[in-house]
Chain A
Amino acid sequence: MPSRNLRKAAFLIIRRKAAASRILPALFAGFGAFLGFLWIKDSFSLAFRAFIIFFPYLFLFLSQDMFRDEIDSGALENGIFVNGGFRDYLLSKILILALLGLAVSLAVFAVFAACGFGFGAARITPGHLAQFLTGALAGLYYLAVGGYLSFFFKAGSNVLIVVIGQVFLAIGFFLSMAARQGWVEALLSEDFSGLGQKLRFLGLALLFPNSVIIRRHPFCIGGLALAGLGLFYLAWRRIRKLELFRT
Chain B
Amino acid sequence: MNAPAVEALNLSKRYGRVDALSDASFFAPGNAITVLLGENGAGKTTAIKLILGFLRPNSGWLESRVSRVAYVPDRPAFFPWLRGREILAATSRAFGIHPPDLGRRVSALNERLGFDPGLLDRRVLGYSLGNQKKFSYLQSLILSPELLVADEPFSSLDPAAIRSVRSLFLDLKREGTTLLLSSHLISEMERICDSFIIIKRGRVIVQEGMADLCENYAFVRLPKGLPAPIITNRHDASGSYHWSRISSGVITVLADKDKARSLAEAASGTGRIHLEPPTLESLYFFFTS
Contact = CB atoms under 8 A, between A and B. Distances in A.
Interface of A: 5-6, 8-9, 12-13, 16-17, 20-21, 70, 73-86, 243-246
B56 A85 contact: no
A83 B52 contact: yes
Contacts of A16: 79, 81-82, 86
B75 interface: yes
B80 interface: yes
B94 interface: yes
Contacts of B43: none
A27 B69 CA distance: 41
A6 B52 CA distance: 16
A20 B81 CA distance: 6
Contact of B95 (A5, A21, A243, A245): A5
B89 A12 contact: yes
B52 A82 contact: yes
Contacts, number: 85
B86 A9 contact: no
Interface string B64-98: 00000111110111111110001101110111100
Contacts of B90: 9, 12-13, 80
B159 interface: no
A12 B93 contact: yes
A8 B49 CA distance: 25
A244 B78 CA distance: 14
A75 B69 contact: no
B140 interface: yes
B285 interface: no
A9 B93 contact: yes
9 contacts: A5-B94, A6-B94, A9-B91, A12-B86, A73-B77, A77-B49, A77-B71, A79-B91, A80-B91
Interface string B34-62: 00000000000000010011111000000
B139 interface: yes
B285 to A, nearest CB: 27
Contacts of A21: 81
Interface residues of B, number: 33
B78 A75 contact: yes
B93 A82 contact: no
B66 to A, nearest CB: 10
Given A12-B86, A79-B72, 4 more contacts: A73-B79, A76-B54, A77-B49, A79-B139
A5 B93 contact: yes
B143 interface: yes
A6 B92 CA distance: 10
Contact of A75 (B52, B71, B77): B77
A20 B56 CA distance: 33
A83 B6 CA distance: 13
Interface string B246-280: 00000000000000000000000000000000000
A78 B93 contact: no
A74 B70 contact: no
B54 A86 contact: yes
A163 to B, nearest CB: 24
A184 to B, nearest CB: 46
Nearest to B55: A243
Contacts of A5: 93-96
Nearest to A87: B53
Contacts of B69: 79, 82-83
A243 B94 contact: no
Contacts of B87: 80
B279 to A, nearest CB: 32
A17 B87 CA distance: 12
A245 B55 contact: yes
